[in-house]
Chains A and B, each alone.
Chain A
Amino acid sequence: MFAYTVRRVIATIPVMAVVALFVFSLLYIAPGDPAAIIAGDQATPEDVERIRESLGLDRPFLLRFTEWLFRVLQGDLGVSIFTNLPVSHMIQQRLEPTFSLMALTLVIALSFAIPMGVLAAWKQGTWIDRLVMVFAVMGFSVPVFVVGYVLAYTFALQLDWFPVQGYSPLANGFGGWLSNLMLPAIALGSAFIALIARITRATMLEVLSQDYVRTARAKGVGQRSVLFVHALKNAAVPIITIIGIGFAALIGGAVVTESVFAIPGVGRLVVDAILRRDYPVIQGVVLMFSFTYVIVNLIVDLLYTVFDPRIRY
């Protein structure tokens, strides 16, 4: 197990290196002159030259990349063109709302999706099953920000159950934190619920047809115990795999959700940076989120052995 963990950790290094190289090369791959585009339409030639220098576009690619990589490894993501503050600092200040949103979304998504998937598999072919599947297709098809607006309009504007927009830090009390994040988390979770419910149903159907489930039933194990203990335990690996893969969509969705609900998180930071063409900030956020995604999937890989002791490496 230890050797496997070490091997898996080492295996993420080339992936992260490719991510860094790709994100860095975007400046060079982009058609046209990125310095001129970042500077904007009203920029003087001096402005463009200054930005070109600050991005290091005037120096050779490999030299620039090595320098940049070493600084990234030390946690230095460069300096914002707009505020002149270190990007890593700007991101750090906005981590709490984003991670709060993602954590609550995961909790909500899992507590809805898994029972839904199990129920659909148990009642396969009935209207309950069909209802879950219809919801699954809808969840994929309706964009996160549309769900967000519908929820905000109904439950915040019309019914006044939740605040319309904004964020209240956890330090100011759990109640305010939760009521502010509830609608954003449900909106962000809708696609995720669909994804997980679908996989749970498919895997459960497969597991329920296995011999040991029949044996469990034959020896008189109750329905609930069969579903949630015997079957769900064996369906865990595909479910956590899809959570890992779906995490990318969760990150992308968080960026949009934060814009809809005016949550001052990392996603909002990147959206503001687009309008200001503040590329170092965008680059920093993309790197941070991509590394998070790689690490989440590393954890998922390591969890396999916990959930399924039959997997040995």
Chain B
Amino acid sequence: MSTTTLPTDGFTPAPELADVLPPRKERSRLGMFIHRHPTIAVGGFMVIMFILMAIFAPLLGTVDPTALAPAKRTRAPSEIYWFGTDMLGRDVYSRVIYGSRISLIIGFAVAFLSAVIGLFIGLISGFIRSVDAVVMRIMDGIMSIPSILLAIAMMALTRASVENVIIAITIADVPRVSRLVRGVVLTLREQPYVEAAIASGTRMPTIILKHILPNTFAPVLVLATFLCASAMIAEATLSFIGAGTPPIVPSWGNIMAEGRALWQVKPYIVFFPALFLSITVLSVNLLGDGMRDALDPRMAKRI
């Protein structure tokens, strides 16, 4: 009996599946990814755009962001000065475009440094009980100092520079990463596969590097993304109140700090850097949100 012709004993044969189900949508791999993780796609795309903007700043119709032109100060946005000029006649558009470099450098540097240092401290205190007691008390103490104030205190004692801003924000962020990593390590070391590795005589460094470390990457990556976003806000905040990057550096916080005195009459000096900062931070946060949901929905509780 053939399978295609069914016996016609009074019943209508069932229609073939292809007629009932809608045709399968053909999606490319990129299309699949965007469909599954829209927040990662949108956030990632915007972050890449900002990175390109920072890299190709000189090609985007900008002039020297530090060039003074006192005769042309506080011009309103026009065809020549897209975002106007500031109190010293500097082109706000060029300063905002170049400012993305400072924000991105500080955001990425803080995220990277606090992730690496936090991983190291977290792994050690998760494994060595005697170290844990002391280190975690210190971390609790640092976390009890509101991070902006900690950075203000550090910046008051050092010369204003991009490096010092990075160090000041990183010190406030390291405890957050190390607490997270320590928590992950404490859960993992009770797992049967780790016990098995210990029982079969695997040496400690191997266990940490091969069995524990890879499992901390996902949560650390997500936390580092959020730290990157908050570091950008922290830099702008510090520069805005005069405790950040040196005033000569065209960072978004500095542009706003300079526009502060005139904001009631020339709001555009503050407006454009504020807009760029907000959108950049938003894209990094979207990326972080998307990655958190994609990697592990349960993580929402911890970060």
Contact = CB atoms under 8 A, between A and B. Distances in A.
A binds B: yes
Binding site secondary structure of chain B:
helix
A15 B158 contact: no
Interface stretch (A100-108, A209-217, A247-255): A247-255
B240 interface: yes
B158 A30 contact: yes
Interface string B157-183: 111000010000000000000000000
B149 A15 contact: no
A285 interface: yes
B246 interface: no
A9 interface: no
Contacts of A259: 240-241
A216 B289 CA distance: 34
Contacts, number: 143
A23 B286 contact: no
Given A137-B286, A271-B241, A21 B156 contact: no
B141 to A, nearest CB: 3
A168 B263 CA distance: 22
A78 to B, nearest CB: 14
A85 interface: no
A270 B238 CA distance: 12
Interface of B: 137-138, 140-142, 144-150, 152-159, 164, 229, 233, 236-237, 240-243, 256, 263-264, 267, 270-271, 274, 277-278, 281-282, 285-286, 289, 300-301
Interface of A: 14-19, 21-23, 26-27, 30-32, 34, 37-38, 137-138, 140-146, 149-150, 153, 157, 164, 202, 248-249, 251-252, 255-256, 259, 270-271, 273-275, 277, 279, 282-283, 285-286, 289-290, 293-294, 297
Given A31-B158, A279-B157, 10 more contacts: A26-B157, A140-B229, A141-B278, A149-B270, A251-B149, A256-B240, A256-B241, A271-B243, A282-B153, A290-B146
Closest 4 pairs between A and B when the two form their complex, measured CB to CB? A18-B141, A252-B148, A30-B157, A141-B282
18 contacts: A15-B140, A16-B144, A21-B141, A22-B138, A22-B142, A31-B164, A37-B157, A37-B158, A38-B157, A142-B281, A144-B237, A248-B147, A256-B237, A274-B241, A282-B152, A282-B153, A286-B152, A290-B149
